[in-house]
Amino acid sequence: MPAIVIIGAQWGDEGKGKATDLLGSRIDYVVKFNGGNNAGHTVVVGNEKYALHLLPSGILTEGVTPVIANGVVVDIEVLFEELDALTARGVDVSRLKVSSNAHVITQYHRTLDKVTERFLGKRQIGTTGRGIGPTYADKINRVGIRIQDLFDENILRQKVEAALDQKNHLLVKIYNRRAITVDEIVADLLSYADRLRPMVADTSLLLHEALEAGKHVLFEGGQATMLDVDHGTYPFVTSSNSTAGGAATGSGIGPNRIERVIAVVKAYTTRVGAGPFPTELFDESGEWLRARGFEFGTTTGRPRRTGWYDAPIARYSSRINGVTDFVLTKLDTLTGLETIPVCVAYDVDGVRHDEVPASQSDFHHAVPIYQNFPGWSEDISGVRRFEDLPKNAQDYVTALEAMSGSRISAIGVGPGREAIVVRHDLLD
């Protein structure tokens, strides 16, 4: 089974790094195919905690080749900072490969991200401010800078000129900021070229050859299904395809290579940034989930919005991504609750909707219809077999499975790599 995709089923921060770890030594390549340093994986190895934003989490596993593919937007300064920080902690990062077609986040993208958010006022998206949206906008507008442009000064200068031409008008006349010069951007980008050159590769060809040779290639989605630019809660989304289909376009492999799609889903729901969130809690239960689940952003440190599990969203994810297996994370966070509500459908202006409504306005009006499940109080963090979970925890998982559209193959019961209950082998 050569190509496997891991994506988030909700609004991100489901704990995808943990699912990646579960596949561990059987994976040869870990590919990031969308997003940039807006992501945040926290990976705990032994007593060490690593927070990665741009690099694929597979960089921490010895023997794995990490790949940043064409669908990613790369802030090169951040890339080097993350590589240096890992090297200082003894991690071997020498195998990293970066696609020559990936787009580059520059200073003007970061600036535009921040000023446009400010100008949106109450309507702002709550972006991470890392320049992600403006970089993807340039890519689609065909005025982007790609990694390969850094190796031809002449071409680079022409492209930066074309990009800045319009943007300086915007920055100066609309946003009241200073103009950015072509020279400063070109000098900045060229200063990265020598260090970057050995990492750059034709990653589509590299992955093709790996798959032909029967290697295991894991495609790790940044963000999550409900933040996908096409299938998420638009416009409160990120600017890339974070669903499973993005793995093919974002890396240059054929879609029929993908044999397994693993969706990571939290036992409750969180969201950072603005946008609809039907099961959001504004009372002490929401505070309780935030505190118990340490729900603060890895990238921005913002407190995450919290709410109960939303089964229609899980079913939607299952459908959009072609999910073969769910990994349910953070079940232990719910320990101690007397009852656990689960959203089974929505009431939209008096009409029951069993599926995620196709209309944005309907989704904004969706009021959850809950079913209550009895909780458990036993510490489950040491449990490794499903049968050893408290009966109510088992029933909670089986009920979610029946509502969510695909089997739940593994269950996270604590923060450590080993704190997981496996029901079905993810590579079987």
Count the alpha carbons within 13 Å of 208 in the hemisphere toward its beta carbon. 8
Spatial CA neighbour of 1 closest among 204, 211, 208: 211
Rounded to a whole number of angstroms, the minimum distance from the CB of residue 77 to ligand IMP is 17
Closest CB 23 distance from ligand IMP, rounded Å: 20
**Least distance from ligand IMP to the Cβ atom of residue 211, Å:** 27
Question: Which residues contact residue 28 at a Cβ distance below 8 angstroms, ignoring those fewer than 6 apart?
Answer: 63, 64, 65, 210, 215, 216, 217
364 belongs to the catalytic site: no
* CB-neighbour burial class of residue 350 (10 A; exposed 0-12, middle 13-18, buried 19+): exposed
Structural contact between residues 187 and 234, judged by C-beta atoms closer than 8 angstroms:
no
Kindly identify the residues of this chain, within the stretch 124-153, that bind ligand IMP according to CB under 6 A: 125-128, 130, 132-133
Compare residues 276 and 374 and give the one whose CB is closer to ligand IMP.
276
Shortest Å distance, C-beta 176 to ligand IMP: 23
The nearer residue to ligand IMP, 276 or 357, going by C-beta atoms, is 276
Residue span binding ligand IMP (CB under 6 A) among the ranges 121-129, 173-181, 252-260, 365-373:
121-129
Distance of closest approach, residue 384 Cβ to ligand IMP, in angstroms:
28
Closest by Cα among 304, 303, 302, 307 to 280: 307
User: For residues 413 and 332, is the Cβ–Cβ distance under 8 A?
Assistant: yes
Residue with tokens 């921040």: 114
DSSP state of 296: B
Contact letters for ligand IMP, residues 11-50 (x by CB under 6 A): xxx------------------------xxx----------
Residue nearest ligand IMP, Cβ-based: 273
Question: 2 or 286: whose CB is closer to ligand IMP?
Answer: 286
One-letter amino acid for residue 28 of the chain: D
Considering beta carbons, is residue 223 or 329 the nearer one to ligand IMP?
223
Cα 341 to Cα 60, 307, 352, distances in angstroms: 37, 10, 18
Active site residue 13: yes
Task: Report in angstroms how near the CB of residue 130 gets to ligand IMP at its nearest.
Answer: 6
* DSSP strand pairing (29-32 vs 217-220): parallel
Tokens of 241: 């395809």
List 96, 263, 272, 337, residue binding ligand IMP (CB under 6 A) = 272
- Is 276 a residue that touches ligand IMP (CB under 6 A)? no
Beta bridge partners of 252: none
Of 2 and 8, CB closest to ligand IMP: 8
Q: How far apart are CA 159 and CA 153, in angstroms?
A: 10
Residue from 31, 76, 227, 314 binding ligand IMP (CB under 6 A)? 227
| Catalytic residue of the set 41, 53, 109, 353 | 41
Nearer Cβ to ligand IMP (2/12): 12
- Provide the pairing of β-strand 420-422 with 200-201: unpaired
Indicate which residues carry an active-site annotation.
13, 41
Q: Which residues bind ligand IMP (CB under 6 A)?
A: 11-13, 38-40, 125-128, 130, 132-133, 223, 227, 236, 238-239, 272-273
